[in-house]
Amino acid sequence: MRDLAHTRITDGAPMRWFSWRRAQRHRPGLQFLVSTGRHHGAESLEEARLLLALDFAADLVDVVSQPMRLRFDTATGRRGHIPDFLTVTRTGVWLIDVRPRALIAPDDLEAFAAAAEVALVCGWHYTVAAGWKEHVTAAVDVFSSQRRALSDPLALRPALLAAAQDGGTFGELADAAQFPPLARAQLLHLLWHRQLGVDLVQPFGDRSVVVRPRGEER
């Protein structure tokens, strides 16, 4: 366990692959992350949502899907568990499991406890992503539509950033621009890249107040 913290797990491959077959109940796939410039495997829609959230908000450096296989003893015998993700961020390393709260069984709690112990020994953080507020995942999905490199030939971005200094809603900032449809795309790009911000406690829409982070000069 102590050696694990010094192992370059991010250079490894997933412990299992993301396969497709008829009638399977989960939906595996690949999620592209701007932070890493690569596709990463997810075994379900819930895991794909987590990857998108990490790409948006986690100051992400790298991520490995299905990074390791743990074996541990319980009162009923020896068991195994493969955590869903190991993520390296600029503020620390996180070992993460994904399981909707309604589907967490007693056996899962044992596996999560074992993964948490491994993270503790390695000096990592550990968490279980058990659910999201639906409007938050919807907003991050909207922002992600403009997450890739976006040109600004009409120089809309500086004007939008300047207008956000004085406050205003998403709809007001877009409608006040010279080309509102293009301004909406630029605003979403700026929101994804955290040059502008909104309060995601409330559902995102035209009435969402857009703010410019204090000290932001880009």
Decide the pairing of beta strands 125-129 and 92-98: parallel
**pTM over cut 0.85:** yes
Instruction: Output the pLDDT for position 218.
Output: 43
**Residue 25's pLDDT band (cuts 50, 70, 90):** low
- How do residues 162-218 score in pLDDT, each as one tens digit? 999 988 999 999 999 999 999 999 999 999 999 999 999 999 999 999 999 876 544
Contacts (Cβ under 8 Å, ≥6 apart) of 217: none
What is the SS3 assignment for the chain? CCCHHHCCHHHCCCCCCCCCCCCCCCCCEEEEECCCCEEEEECCHHHHHHHHHHHHHCCEEEEEECCCCEEEEECCEEEEECCCEEEEECCEEEEEEECCHHHCCHHHHHHHHHHHHHHHHHCCEEEEECCCCHHHHHHHHHHHCCCCCCCCCCCHHHHHHHHHHCCCEHHHHHHHCCCHHHHHHHHHHHHHCCCCECCCCCCCCCCCECECCCCCCC
Kindly report the CATH number that applies to the domain delimited by 148-218.
1.10.10
Q: Where in the chain is the domain with CATH 1.10.10?
A: 148-218
| CATH 3.40.1350.10 is held by the domain 4-129 | yes
Percent of all residues in the chain with a pLDDT value above 70, rounded to a whole number: 94
Intervals of CATH 3.40.1350.10 along the chain: 4-129
Cα–Cα dist 118/95, whole Å: 9
